[in-house]
Chains A and B, each alone.
Chain A
Amino acid sequence: MSVATQDTAIRTGRIARAMIYLVLVLFALFYVLPLYVMAVNSVKPLSEITGGGMMALPEVWTIEPWLKAWSTAQIGVEPTGLRPYFWNSISMVVPAVAISTVLGALNGYVLTKWRFRWDTILFGLMLFACFIPFQIVLIPMAAVLGFLGLAGSTSGLVLVHVVYGIGFSTLYFRNYYAVFPTELVRAAQIDGAGFFQIFWRILLPSSGPISVVCIIWQFTNIWNDFLFGASFASGDGAPMTVALNNLVQSSTGVKEYNVHFAGAILAALPTLLVYIVAGRYFVRGLMAGSVKG
């Protein structure tokens, strides 16, 4: 009797397990499908795509579309490819991520270890920044950038992204530092360390996981941003996302789908790379704040 029940228990376990795997595999296929389509079609001659057979593997393999997308495709007026815009994005993302992360860390440090009157209210207001829709600030932001003489420049875009990013980076670091033992800060004070020395020597060395979280988050958001790029950067100064849009929209005559696919993958590569390199720290960092006391 008891043997029989055990037997069925195991068997239903196996069936359930098989079902779970089946569903998971289906989902995985579903998610990977767009990437597959993009990848396959970016290495086909255009004729193979227009002849139908989006799903088929290429008959003739070619990297021509990639080269074209990168360096010779018509974007805007000049046939420059995406290359200059890629560097535009890099020179926007790197300082914007660095500045917003450092400022977020400093904010988190002050908000948790150098408490002052109204600090929670201030933090609440900063959190608010995370929820303001981009569209609302477009016009005031344009006015401010014009006033500062930064309209249409990469520095202007960096400023916009830093301002928007501080809300999130502050949130990350504040929550992380809230569980960082205050006694360490007090010990360092007695040892004679100053405000920045404590930050630099005591807190930052223990901030690896949360820094990775913050950097991934900011990098992905800023790199993928389209609206600010399209609104505040002009022509040659446009970031990758805007350039990709121009590539797809502005090609005269035939739509070169293979080039578009290659361009889209190029535009997505850096964020993909960041995830692959630092992804495991991302999960670990997200957990750290909640679990470790």
Chain B
Amino acid sequence: MGFLDIDNATKSYGAVEVLHRVDISVEEGEFLVLVGPSGCGKSTLLNMIAGLEEISSGEIRIKDAVMNGVHPSKRNIAMVFQSYALYPNMTVGQNITFGLEMHGVPKGERETAMAEVAKLLQIEQLLDRKPGQLSGGQRQRVAMGRALVRNPDVFLFDEPLSNLDAKLRVDMRTEIKKLHQKLGTTIVYVTHDQIEAMTLSTRIAVMNGGYVQQLGTPKEIYDTPANLFVATFMGSPSMNLIPVRVRTEGNAVYAVTQNSQGQEISLTFFQPSDRLRSYDGQEIILGIRPEALTDVEGADQRSAHVERLENMVAVTEPAGSDTFVTTTLGGAECVARMRSDADVVAGKQTVFAVNMEKAVVFDPTTEQRIL
């Protein structure tokens, strides 16, 4: 039993099922991020936790108490909305204390709680203003203040940063993370931005089409994606997917593919599993992150198995800290992430280092990772 349990929860609108048997258990103090493309059902799931949407079947429990049918205000949750949803006719102070007032907290206590939260979020000087007179970042803070002041069991965030400009978004992201580390509260956070998901979460649920595709720590999700969807959705630039044929020779297992000239090349798998051996002779998909495909000097020195191959450089894109190099493997366009001063020239052959320890493989028909 976790702190927040989502147990086989399903949501249907009429005959259409938009969430299919979602099963997530969140521990106290966890920062769970629901990430996925638009329309995958993240907000719906969050609203079901909040009580703003009914649960069609299954159960949601907070601290072991079943929440199905419990009014949002009685779940001891707080929510920060994408639009911030600040009451336009009330001052910042009134916005923050409205929930306490509705819960019958006496005025004295409300003022104390408000002062505390205002100090924490550094919005003391804004308390008498109306939301219309605030900047985007300030509104964001006030919205968080309104959530914090109730001292809820679970915080729910629905894309809270997506209305901010890029710079402010990064700042607020850090601030939310700090706040979580300071207060240790349980958070469920919805975003479509995979970088936000990676940086903020203690655990990520990647969603698509109403299904949870994978639930795990950011590292698990990034290093061992459960299927092709997760592999491509998480990470930027996204994972290189190269069609290869499996060939076993004694103990060794090779991924056979073509270089940019169409000549056959092969890469040796690192610690191949028995499942992988059983694909002998078949086509599979080899997944390699851009940072695992790099120049020889930039290759991970602690990796137990780095392969080298020579290939044609199609395009180089210097990005300051790194240089992104485009090349073709097995007919698929691949991006390599090299050191910024790596010696590569477009149209010339160069040696790539492939960190096979980090390589993952997928079955092309089921799209699942081959374990």
| A residues at B contact (CB < 8 Å) | 181, 183-184, 186-193, 197, 201-202, 205-206
The answer to whether A190 touches B78 (Cβ under 8 A) is: yes
Which residues of chain B are near A197, meaning CB under 8 Å? 102
Beyond A187-B146, A190-B72, A201-B98, list 13 extra A-B contacts (CB 8 Å).
A186-B50, A186-B52, A186-B81, A186-B85, A187-B79, A189-B72, A189-B73, A190-B52, A191-B99, A191-B102, A201-B87, A202-B87, A206-B88
Are B73 and A187 in contact, with the CB atoms below 8 A? no
Separation of A181 and B84 alpha carbons in the complex (Å): 11
List 28 interface pairs A-B (beta carbons < 8 Å), by A numbering: A183-B81, A183-B83, A183-B85, A184-B85, A184-B87, A184-B88, A186-B72, A186-B79, A186-B85, A187-B79, A187-B87, A187-B146, A189-B52, A189-B71, A189-B73, A190-B73, A190-B77, A190-B79, A191-B98, A191-B146, A192-B73, A192-B99, A192-B102, A192-B103, A193-B102, A201-B87, A202-B87, A205-B89
Bound Cα distance from A191 to B83, whole angstroms: 16
- List the A side residues contacting B103 at CB < 8 Å: 192
- Mask for B81-106, Cβ within 8 A of A = 1, else 0? 11101011100000000110011000
* Residues of chain A within 8 A of B79, CB atoms compared: 186-187, 190
Interface residue tally for chain B (C-beta within 8 Å): 22
Contact among A184, A190, A192 for B50, CB-based, below 8 A = A190
Q: Do A187 and B81 have beta carbons less than 8 Å apart? A: yes
Q: Hey, which chain A residues are within 8 Å of B87, CB to CB?
A: 184, 187-188, 201-202
Q: CA–CA, A189 to B102, complex, Å?
A: 10
Nearest CB on B from A200, distance (A): 11
- Assess the A181–B72 pair: CB atoms within 8 A: no
B75 CB to closest chain A CB, in angstroms? 8
Bound: A187/B87 CA distance, A: 9
* Nearest Cβ on chain B to A3's Cβ, whole angstroms: 47
Closest Cβ of chain B to A175, distance in Å, is 19
- A187, A188, A193, A206: most-surrounded residue (chain B CB, <10 A): A187
A181 to B143, CA, bound (A): 15
In the complex, chain A residues whose CB is within 8 Å of the CB of B146 = 187, 191
Complex interface: chain A residues within 8 A of B82 (CB) = 183
- Specify which of A184, A190, A202 is in contact with B99 (CB 8 Å cutoff): A190
Residues of B within 8 A of A186 (CB): 47, 50, 52, 72, 79, 81, 85
- In Å, the complex CA distance between A217 and B52 comes to 36
Most chain B CB neighbours (cut-off 10 Å) among A181, A189, A190, A197? A190
B residues near A202, Cβ cutoff 8 Å: 87, 89
In the complex, how many angstroms separate the beta carbon of A29 from the nearest chain B beta carbon? 43
- CB-CB nearest in chain B for A189: B72
B89 and A206 contact, CB distance less than 8 A: yes
Contacts of B81 in A (CB 8 A): 183, 186-187
